[in-house]
Amino acid sequence: MTVVRWAPSPTGRIHLGNARPALLNWFFARRTGGRYVLRMDDTDLARSTREFADGIEVDLAWLGVTPDLLVRQSERTALYDAARDKLIAAGRLYPAYETEDELDRKRARARLLGKPPTYDRAALSLTAEDKAKYEAEGRKPHWRFKLDGRPVQFQDLIKGQQTVNTASMSDPVLIRADGSYLYTLPSVVDDIDLGITHVIRGEDHVSNTGTQIEIIEALGGTVPTFAHHNLLTDAAGQGFSKRLGSQSISDFRNEGYEPLAVAIMATLTGTSLPIEPYENLDAIAEKLELSMISHGAARFDPAELDSLNARLLHTMSYEEALPRLSSMGLEGEAIWLLLRENLVRFPDIAEWSKLVTGPIEPVVADEDREFLDVAKAMLPAEPWDETTWSTWTNALKGATGRKGKPLFMPLRMALTGRHDGPELKSLLVLLGRKACLDRLP
* Residues spanned by the domain of 408: 366-439
> How is 47-88 classified by DSSP, letter by letter?
T--HHHHHHHHHHHHHHT---SEEEEGGG-HHHHHHHHHHHH
Same domain, 346 and 394: no
Q: What is d(CA 310, CA 292) in angstroms, rounded to the nearest whole number?
A: 26
Which tens digit of pLDDT belongs to each residue from 302-354? 999 999 999 999 999 999 999 999 999 998 999 999 999 999 999 999 999 99
Same domain, 335 and 373: no
Strands 232-233 and 298-299: parallel
Same domain, 328 and 382: no
Asked if residue 430 belongs to a domain, the reply is yes
* Residue pair 203/231 in contact by the 8 Å Cβ criterion: yes
| Structural domains counted in the chain | 3
Q: Which CATH number characterizes residue 432's domain?
A: 1.10.10.350
Which tens digit of pLDDT belongs to each residue from 127-175? 999 999 999 999 999 999 999 999 999 999 999 999 999 999 999 999 9
Give buried/exposed letters for 348-360 (b at 16+ CB in 10 A, else e). Answer: bbeebbebbeeeb
**How many of the other CB atoms lie within 10 Å of CB of 68?**
12
Asked if residue 157 belongs to a domain, the reply is yes
Considering 152, 175, 198, which residue would you say is the last residue of a domain?
175
Same domain, 99 and 166: yes
Considering 175, 196, 212, which residue would you say is the last residue of a domain?
175
Among 180, 223, 187, CA closest to 205: 187
Q: What is d(CA 299, CA 321) in angstroms, rounded to the nearest whole number?
A: 31
Asked if residue 136 belongs to a domain, the reply is yes
Binning pLDDT at 50, 70 and 90, where does residue 252 land? very high
Chain-centre distance for alpha carbon 324: 23
Same domain, 92 and 162: yes
Asked if residue 121 belongs to a domain, the reply is yes
Asked if residue 348 belongs to a domain, the reply is yes
Same domain, 375 and 351: no
Q: What is the pLDDT of residue 385?
A: 95
Asked if residue 14 belongs to a domain, the reply is no
Asked if residue 90 belongs to a domain, the reply is yes
Among 122, 135, 133, CA closest to 96: 122
Which tens digit of pLDDT belongs to each residue from 41-70? 998 888 899 999 999 999 999 999 999 999
CB proximity list for 282: less than 8 A, separation 6 or greater: 30
Same domain, 401 and 423: yes
Asked if residue 257 belongs to a domain, the reply is no
Q: Tell me the average pLDDT of the chain.
A: 95
Which tens digit of pLDDT belongs to each residue from 365-421? 999 999 999 999 999 999 999 999 999 999 999 999 999 999 999 999 999 999 999
Same domain, 433 and 371: yes
Considering 143, 175, 207, which residue would you say is the last residue of a domain?
175
pLDDT > 80? residue 244: no
